[in-house]
């Protein structure tokens, strides 16, 4: 077939693919804000605001764009409208639908990427690209043919694989002539390859004027901002839904449109959670789901097309928010002790999407909100922050003391020696809509943070005890008796002591005490806390125990914490100890490289605030990076280590040092 004939055939197939999309129904004109970087995106500081008709021009100009937003804000259908627009302009559009990713695809992906990330290009495009051609066929098109990959559902898969896919897409744009990519995602900070080459955007909420235009009545302040979401405004228009919160509206949607009866909700919710647990994806086994949910509820949802069944025994919810609501409903009914880190990871695709967590909050009675936040905090401080970020003054069910504690713990991270930790803390605090978060978001120092905490009046014993520990200054001594609370069952006490221990004066021989506690500790979270503190104790005993945890602890979070603390220990150490730590990391380079999250955390941990590093920190970083660089073979994997070293050279070799205010802003 002549190249021109091949192009015409692909363009015809691309056009035919979009014919069945219901784009002739009511569509909301969406505005998007575009920011310089993630920090501005989280802060809502946009360099320009454009309507959807101009997005393609922006993508084609830069070649790479990532468009973020909350669930229900219309990203999927916006992507499809842009697909059609590109097709009309003579651009070949290729839709990569990661919402169709199944549990089995993780194994396939691992096999395809075993040598080079780039080897998976054909698998990605052929398996999830709706044109059913491979990356090689697209690459062989005449160089004058413009092509855009429209990637939907990045947040529907685990964060680890999501990062690898972004790396692959960047590589494809770099290597293929006239290829661009537009990815839609949740608002979470990604480690973008070649970040300056990416445009970063945010889908903005619908305006009050748009809501009034489509709903045919004045916007009711009692509705909060739920109607600024295209998904829920559409549901209100079609089915007359009157709920003011996302969980309530989702339940109403299932009863009014989905065909469920009230008694169906709990078994369907149990099946929805089980689907996330067993499949790790939005696509799941229909027979297993039916066995838990029941025949009639499944039939009703299929008739209403709330649930879509495929021809290979799989099914998925038409909109993931409905699946999130149901899984969250089941989760919210569990006793507190069942809210484990493992279950929270299953609910959120390894912290890739927090919509379900937010909906758990909405379905909890007030007396259970604080315990849930405690469990969230014990698993992932940033998840707790993101969940609180969606709370409004009028409906915040989390107690003042509990949310103040979360604000303070996040704010402390704004002054961490690891720059990536500062960024994540600033991101979470930037999203907070509760007014009492402001003073923590704007504190310019640890002392300023202490002042904000001291000004809060409370009669809660636990809060005042916690505050007394948290506000210990760098000149304060922390005795081993107080330090022993690191093993407390209460996650707030345990993690607070662990964090405070890293910035106060510890007793001589503390590393030996911590090592003895590790010896018989069965709780993985406690081992993680101990690892956290060991990084602040620059001696040989602490280094030995941290390497033991990295080598053999069965829990991934403990190993993750260990590699961070190993780097921190090195930054506090001098001479032979620092050299020994560098040698220890280098000797484990292959093992570290085989654990993607551990390797990523090592890269982040090496980039410290220049104000807390010594003049010989850059040679240490270079030594570690060289060892990791040599342990991998793929060009893409080596590139991430090249970028790590380049950033270290910018920070430490050129004399560039962020000011205190810049550091606080992240």
Domain assignments of the chain as residue spans, ordered by start: 3-204
Rounded Cα distance between 582 and 42, Å, is 35
Determine if the pTM surpasses 0.85.
Answer: no
pLDDT for res 219: 53
Are 154 and 188 in contact by the 8 Å Cβ rule? The answer is no
pLDDT for res 658: 44
Rounded Cα distance between 665 and 649, Å, is 22
Rounded Cα distance between 202 and 664, Å, is 24
Cα dist from 378 to 213, 276, 302, whole Å: 45, 21, 38
**For domain 3-204, which architecture applies?**
3-Layer(aba) Sandwich (3.40)
Q: Look-up: residue for tokens 């005449």?
A: 142
Q: How confident is the model at residue 663 (pLDDT cuts 50, 70, 90)?
A: very low
Cα dist from 205 to 30, 69, 138, 430, whole Å: 8, 9, 35, 17
Q: How confident is the model at residue 666 (pLDDT cuts 50, 70, 90)?
A: very low
Q: How confident is the model at residue 660 (pLDDT cuts 50, 70, 90)?
A: very low
Mean pLDDT of 138-164: 91
Average model confidence (pLDDT) across the chain: 90
Rounded Cα distance between 171 and 108, Å, is 20
- Beta bridge partners, 307, equal 317
- Beta bridge partners, 49, equal 33
Mean pLDDT of 286-297: 97
Q: How confident is the model at residue 394 (pLDDT cuts 50, 70, 90)?
A: very low
Are 550 and 563 in contact by the 8 Å Cβ rule? The answer is yes
pLDDT for res 605: 98
**Is the four-CA dihedral 156, 159, 160, 165 of positive or negative sign?**
positive
Strand pairing report for 147-152 and 92-97 = parallel
pLDDT for res 654: 59
Residue 217 has pLDDT above 80, yes or no: no
Are 155 and 186 in contact by the 8 Å Cβ rule? The answer is yes
Are 272 and 283 in contact by the 8 Å Cβ rule? The answer is no
Percent helix, strand, coil in the chain, to 5, is 65, 10, 30
Residue 214 has pLDDT above 60, yes or no: yes
pLDDT for res 220: 59
- Tell me the chain's radius of gyration from C-alpha atoms: 25
Rounded Cα distance between 150 and 64, Å, is 11
DSSP 8-state symbol, 218: P
Own/partner pairs, 103-109, CB within 8 angstroms, 24+ separation: 103/278, 103/279, 103/280, 103/281, 103/284, 105/281, 106/158, 106/161, 106/280, 109/161, 109/164
- Higher pLDDT: 57 or 201? It is 201
Coil, strand, or helix at residue 177?
Answer: coil
Rounded Cα distance between 128 and 153, Å, is 11
Mean pLDDT of 313-334: 95
Mean pLDDT of 451-467: 93
Rounded Cα distance between 360 and 351, Å, is 15
pLDDT for res 498: 97
First to last CA, the chain: 54
Residue 656 has pLDDT above 60, yes or no: no
Question: pLDDT digits over 608-621, tens only?
Answer: 999 999 989 999 99
Mean pLDDT of 307-316: 91
- Other Cβ atoms within 10 Å of 415 Cβ, number: 20
Are 331 and 273 in contact by the 8 Å Cβ rule? The answer is yes
Q: How confident is the model at residue 662 (pLDDT cuts 50, 70, 90)?
A: very low
Mean pLDDT of 62-72: 91
Rounded Cα distance between 400 and 321, Å, is 28
């Amino acid at each position: 077939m002549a190249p021109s004939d091949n192009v015409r055939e692909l363009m015809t197939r691309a056009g035919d693919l979009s014919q069945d999309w219901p784009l002739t129904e009511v569509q909301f004109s969406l505005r998007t804000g575009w920011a310089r970087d993630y920090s501005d995106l989280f802060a809502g500081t946009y360099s320009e605001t454009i309507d959807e008709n101009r997005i393609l021009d922006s993508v084609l100009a830069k070649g790479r764009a990532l468009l973020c937003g909350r669930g229900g804000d219309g990203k999927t259908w916006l992507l499809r409208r842009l697909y059609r627009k590109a097709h009309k302009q003579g651009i070949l559009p290729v839709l990569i639908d990661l919402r169709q990713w199944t549990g089995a695809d993780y194994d396939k992906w691992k096999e395809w990427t075993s040598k080079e990330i780039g080897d998976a290009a054909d698998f990605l495009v052929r398996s999830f690209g709706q044109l059913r051609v491979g990356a090689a066929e697209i690459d062989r098109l005449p160089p004058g043919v413009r092509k855009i990959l429209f990637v939907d559902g990045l947040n529907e898969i685990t964060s680890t694989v999501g990062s690898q896919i972004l790396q692959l897409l960047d590589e494809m744009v770099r290597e293929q002539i006239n290829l661009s990519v537009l990815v839609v995602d949740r608002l979470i900070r990604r480690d973008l390859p070649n970040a300056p080459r990416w445009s970063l955007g945010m889908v903005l909420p619908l305006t009050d004027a748009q809501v009034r235009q489509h709903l045919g009545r004045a916007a009711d302040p009692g509705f909060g901002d739920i109607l600024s979401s295209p998904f829920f405004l559409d549901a209100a228009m079609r089915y007359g839904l009157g709920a003011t919160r996302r969980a309530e509206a989702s339940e109403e949607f299932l009863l009014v449109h989905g065909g469920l009866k009230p008694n169906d909700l709990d078994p369907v919710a149990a099946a929805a959670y089980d689907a996330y647990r067993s499949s790790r994806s939005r696509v799941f086994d229909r027979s297993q789901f039916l066995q838990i949910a029941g025949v009639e509820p499944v039939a009703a949802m299929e008739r209403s097309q709330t649930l879509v069944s495929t021809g290979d025994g799989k099914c998925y919810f038409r909109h993931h928010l409905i699946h999130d609501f149901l899984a969250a409903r089941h989760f919210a009914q569990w006793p507190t002790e069942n809210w484990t880190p493992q279950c929270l990871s299953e609910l959120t695709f390894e912290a890739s999407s927090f919509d379900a967590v937010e909906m758990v909050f909405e379905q909890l009675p007030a007396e259970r909100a604080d315990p849930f936040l405690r469990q969230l905090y014990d698993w992932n401080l940033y998840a707790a922050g993101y969940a609180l970020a969606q709370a409004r003054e009028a409906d915040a069910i989390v107690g003042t003391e509990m949310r103040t504690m979360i604000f303070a713990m996040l704010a402390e991270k704004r002054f961490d020696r690891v720059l990536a930790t500062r960024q994540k803390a600033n991101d979470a605090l930037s999203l907070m809509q509760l007014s009492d978060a402001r003073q923590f978001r704007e504190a310019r120092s640890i002392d300023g943070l202490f002042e904000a905490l001291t000004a809060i009046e409370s009669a809660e014993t636990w809060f005042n005890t916690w505050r007394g520990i948290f506000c210990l200054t760098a000149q304060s001594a922390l005795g081993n008796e107080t330090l022993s609370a690191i093993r407390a069952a209460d996650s707030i006490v345990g993690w607070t002591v662990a964090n405070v221990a890293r910035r106060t004066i510890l007793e001589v021989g503390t590393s030996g005490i911590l090592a003895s506690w590790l010896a018989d500790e069965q709780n993985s979270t406690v081992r993680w806390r101990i690892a956290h503190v060991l990084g602040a104790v620059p001696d040989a005993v602490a280094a030995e125990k941290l390497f033991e945890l990295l080598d053999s602890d069965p829990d991934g979070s403990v190993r993750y914490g260990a590699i961070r603390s190993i780097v921190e220990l090195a930054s506090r150490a001098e001479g032979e100890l620092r050299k020994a730590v560098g040698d220890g990391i280098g000797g484990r380079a292959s093992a570290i490289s085989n654990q993607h999250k551990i390797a990523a955390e090592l890269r982040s941990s090496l980039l410290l605030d220049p104000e807390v590093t010594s003049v010989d920190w850059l040679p240490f970083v270079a030594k570690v990076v060289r060892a990791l660089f040599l342990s991998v073979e793929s060009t893409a994997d080596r590139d991430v280590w090249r970028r790590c070293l380049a950033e270290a050279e910018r920070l430490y070799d050129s004399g560039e040092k962020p000011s205190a205010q810049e550091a606080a802003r992240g």
